[in-house]
Amino acid sequence: MSNLPPFRSCPALLITATASGQGKTTLVAALARYHRRLGRRVRVFKIGPDFLDPMILQCASGAEVKPLDLWMVGETNCQRALYDAAGEADLILIEGAMGLFDGAPSGADLAERFAIPVVALLNTQGMGQTFGALALGLAQYRPTLPFAGVIANRVASARHAEMLQAGMPATVRYLGGLPRVPSTALLPSRHLGLVQAEEIADLEQRLDAAANGIAATALAHLPAPVQFSAPPAAAPLPQLLAGMRIAVARDAAFSFLYADNLRTLTALGAELQFFSPLADDDVNADAIYLPGGYPELHLPTLAANTGMTRALRTHVAAGRPLYAECGGMLYLLDYLTDQAGNGAALTGILAGRGRLQTRLAGLGMQALDTAQGSLRGHSFHHSTMDTPVMPSGFSRRQRDGQCGEPFYRQGAVQASYLHLYFPSAPLAAAMLFQSNTD
């Protein structure tokens, strides 16, 4: 039996908007930094699959940022993560994905399931009293949703703020406004989303500047506590990877990693080591994990690192497992071309050529069904690839059950565009790093 208390209480908010690109990450980062500066322990979560926003939010909060998603992460694991956070935090913040009601399940579904108050951030640029109509629609669209109020973003002036408040219905709480700032003060982005935190030289100054704007809003005060119930006890995982040393690529080119994936591999018995395809000229392990990232931004360095290419080829030739996701898979190809048309020869472990596009080429939640369980995850890429290698199977799209991304298996290599969330099916995840996968 567990000795944990049946409930834990902690102030919590879910920050949402009407769509992507409205400033949710900046607001959540500002909130986290503001309350952290007051000495509060802040834990931040991000709804849905995301690697870039959590990097920014981790810098702002000073703590790891985990994903929450009722489908990919699962309701029980979401419950466990929130319960654990409530036991160590003074404030829990959750950044939504896209708009409040977008997706199935949506951010609204998660907020309602765990009774977390929702704050909607609305971009008011070029808008007046219609702000109130949008606020009312969000508040009333689902009457069972714990809607806490709205905050205005990109407010041009005091007069503009007055116009916004003039249109507010009495039944919806106005939490304040954030001023319009120059584009140079915003968090920079590129083709897959925000620029990685470590690449923003003045990130600390940007976060502090954003936090300064919180003091004038109602969000400067802690919200009411939310009661989180204890999850069912988790059964220990079998030691399927005991005695195995898995080398995980981790650097500026390969950084799209769920910390939960690494914890799952460790819980399965693996010993992890980290290496850099950019900086190291050798790697030696029982299995290799090449996660996604930005290999297209580092083509000359990757192509010039012949020592690493040789080490990876030797690893595969010896029949030792190599699992690659998205950018990691592109690194295995013969050739990769970036959006500007510049290309480079890469490792040549998986026959084919990749090319970055200006538009999204793949997007959405998907599952990879295996004999050991269904691994859930997502696809999000701007590249396409041509390969003579025939897929060993396809993932299944969450929204309609149709075929999704191809999954490749060639000797000791397994690869796809999928970013898989290992806790969704730990036994299936273990099989990715074992040699008996045929």
- By annotation, the residues acting in catalysis are 326
Residue whose C-alpha is closest to residue 54's, from 247, 218, 201, 187:
187
In terms of C-beta density within 10 A (0-12 exposed, 13-18 middle, 19 or more buried), how is residue 252 classed?
middle
Helix axes 203-212, 24-37, angle to 10 degrees: 80
User: Is 273 within 8 Å of 247 (Cβ atoms)?
Assistant: yes
Residue 263: how many other CB atoms lie within 10 Å? 13
Measured at the CA of 351, the angle between CA 345 and CA 356, to 5 degrees, comes to: 55
Nearest Cα to Cα of residue 385 among 314, 295, 288, 287: 295
Token pair recorded at residue 435: 């040699």
Q: How far apart are CA 137 and CA 119, in angstroms?
A: 13
Report the alpha-carbon distance of residue 235 to residue 81 in Å, rounded: 16
HEC letters along 199-211? HCCCHHHHHHHHH
